[in-house]
Amino acid sequence: MWEGLLNSIRQMGVFMICAQALIYFKPKGSYEKYLKLLVSAMILVQLLSPVAALLSGKGGQSLEERIAYYTNSFEQGMGAGALEEYRMEQIRQHLLTSQISAQLEEWDWQSRQEESLSAEADSALAPQAETVPGQESGEEGEIRIQIDPVTIGTSQEGQ
């Protein structure tokens, strides 16, 4: 295979050198565009001949049989790829679900711990009910708050 590719490249190189020499030594300027068109067409034929030989196959298979073979192998590869993608998606979903479950359990444990700590803190910080004489425990009494008067004024030390 590699030898055939190397031969094709060699032939194209020699042809291009000869074609450029022919274009350079042309008899008149008016034939230049026709000569370039002819050389371009010949180069395209030389480029396509190895591709056609590759597609035609070595075992005498027709082009349709080779295309069917490549199509079949392509579809099998796509099927295997789709199956592998499905398996990877299932693994990803399982991992994601387990991570979410672990995170929820951790948050639940933390919230329970915080609730117990806050309950202990509330009971420790709750003011102890003082019984006022004449008031039984459980009865609400009147609470009086006295605020001393505040005066606002400017100091006159500097005057």
SS (H, E, C) 73-142: HHHHHHHHHHHHHHHHHHHHHHHHHHHHHHHHHHHHHHHHHHHHHHHHHHHHHCCCCCCCCCCCCCCCCC
Q: Looking at residue 125, what is its pLDDT?
A: 59
Whether the per-residue pLDDT at 155 is higher than 70: the answer is: no
Does residue 84 or residue 65 have the better pLDDT?
Answer: 84
Closest C-alpha to 139, from 147, 148, 130: 130
Q: Spell out the alpha helix ranges (H) of 31-62.
A: 32-56
Residue written as tokens 């979903």? 93
Q: Looking at residue 52, what is its pLDDT?
A: 76
Closest C-alpha to 132, from 141, 119, 123, 144: 141
Q: What would the pLDDT profile of 85-102 be if each residue is shown by its tens digit?
A: 889 999 999 999 999 988
Q: What would the pLDDT profile of 95-140 be if each residue is shown by its tens digit?
A: 999 999 888 888 888 888 877 777 776 666 555 445 455 555 555 6
> Which of these ranges, 7-11, 28-32, 74-78, 112-116, has the smallest mean pLDDT?
28-32
**Confidence band of 60 (pLDDT split at 50, 70, 90):** low
Could you give the CA distance from residue 5 to residue 91 in angstroms, rounded to a whole number?
45
Q: What is the mean pLDDT of residues 1-30?
A: 80
